[in-house]
Structure 1
Amino acid sequence: MTRKWIELSSTTALSGLYLRAARKRKISGDSLPASGLRCHLGVDPQQLEAYRKLCHFSDDGRLPPTFPHVMAFALQMQLLTAADFPFPLLGLVHLHNSIRVLRPLGGISRLRFSVSVDNLQPHEKGATFELITEAEDGLGLLWSQTSRMLCRGLKLGGEPAVADAPEALALSELTRWYADSDIGRRYAKVCGDYNPIHLSAASARLFGFPTAIAHGMWSKAMALAALRGHLPVSGYELEVGFLKPVRLPSEVILNTSPTAAEGQLQLDGHGELVHMRGAWRSLR
Structure 2
Amino acid sequence: MATDWHDLIAPPALPGLFARAAMRRQVTGKTLPSLGLRCTLSADADNLQRYRALCGFADGTRLPVTYPHVLAFALQMKLLTDRRFPFPLLGLVHLENRIRLLRPLGGLGPFTVSVHGDKLQAHPKGAQFSLITRLQDQLGLLWEGDSGILCRDIRLDGEPPESSQTESSQTESSPPDEFRLRELDRWTAPANIGRRYARLSGDYNPIHLSAASARLFGFPRAIAHGLWLKARSLAALESQLPPAGYAVEVRFHQPVRLPAELHLLASAAAPSGRLELLGEGQRLHMSGSWQPL
TM-score computed with the length of structure 2 as normaliser? 0.95
The answer to whether the aligner puts 1:196 opposite 2:225 as a matched pair is no
Decide whether the 8 Å contact of 1:5 with 1:36 is kept in 2: yes
How much identity, in percent, do the aligned residues show? 56
Decide whether the 8 Å contact of 2:275 with 2:289 is kept in 1: yes
User: Number of paired residues?
Assistant: 283
1:7 maps to what in 2? Answer: 7
2:136 maps to what in 1? Answer: 136
Deviations along 1:39-66, one digit per CA (max 9) or x if unpaired, are: 1011111110110111011111110001
Deviations along 1:105-144, one digit per CA (max 9) or x if unpaired, are: 1123211011000111111111000000000001100001
Q: CA deviation at 1:162?
A: 0.9
Instruction: Return 5+ residue gaps in structure 1 as ranges.
Output: none
1:218 maps to what in 2? Answer: 228
SS of 1:59 mapped into structure 2: coil
1:120 maps to what in 2? Answer: 120
SS of 2:240 mapped into structure 1: coil
Q: Distance in 2 between matches of 1:52 and 1:120?
A: 33
Decide whether the 8 Å contact of 2:45 with 2:108 is kept in 1: no
Q: CA deviation at 1:280?
A: 0.3
1:97 maps to what in 2? Answer: 97
Q: CA deviation at 1:12?
A: 1.5
Q: Distance in 2 between matches of 1:274 and 1:163?
A: 17
Q: Distance in 2 between matches of 1:144 and 1:62?
A: 16
- The amino acid of 2:14's aligned partner reads L
Q: Distance in 2 between matches of 1:264 and 1:26?
A: 38
2:270 maps to what in 1? Answer: 260
Deviations along 1:150-194, one digit per CA (max 9) or x if unpaired, are: 001201101111124456542110001100000000000111100
SS of 2:261 mapped into structure 1: strand
Decide whether the 8 Å contact of 2:55 with 2:235 is kept in 1: yes
Q: Distance in 2 between matches of 1:231 and 1:42?
A: 25
1:30 maps to what in 2? Answer: 30
Q: Distance in 2 between matches of 1:258 and 1:229?
A: 11
Decide whether the 8 Å contact of 2:44 with 2:108 is kept in 1: no
Distance 1:164 1:68, change over 3 A: closer
- The amino acid of 1:109's aligned partner reads G
Which runs of structure 2 are paired with 1:1-284 in the superposition (5 Å)?
Answer: 1-165=1-165, 166=169, 168=175, 169-283=179-293
Q: Distance in 1 between matches of 2:108 and 2:43?
A: 7
Q: Distance in 1 between matches of 2:115 and 2:109?
A: 19
Q: Distance in 1 between matches of 2:15 and 2:270?
A: 43
Decide whether the 8 Å contact of 1:11 with 1:78 is kept in 2: no
SS of 2:239 mapped into structure 1: coil
Deviations along 1:205-261, one digit per CA (max 9) or x if unpaired, are: 111111000000000000110011110000011100010011100100100111200
- The amino acid of 1:147's aligned partner reads S
Decide whether the 8 Å contact of 2:92 with 2:151 is kept in 1: yes
Q: CA deviation at 1:104?
A: 0.7
- The amino acid of 2:120's aligned partner reads L
Q: Distance in 1 between matches of 2:239 and 2:147?
A: 25
Q: Distance in 1 between matches of 2:62 and 2:118?
A: 30
What is the RMSD computed on CA atoms of the aligned residues? Answer: 1.0
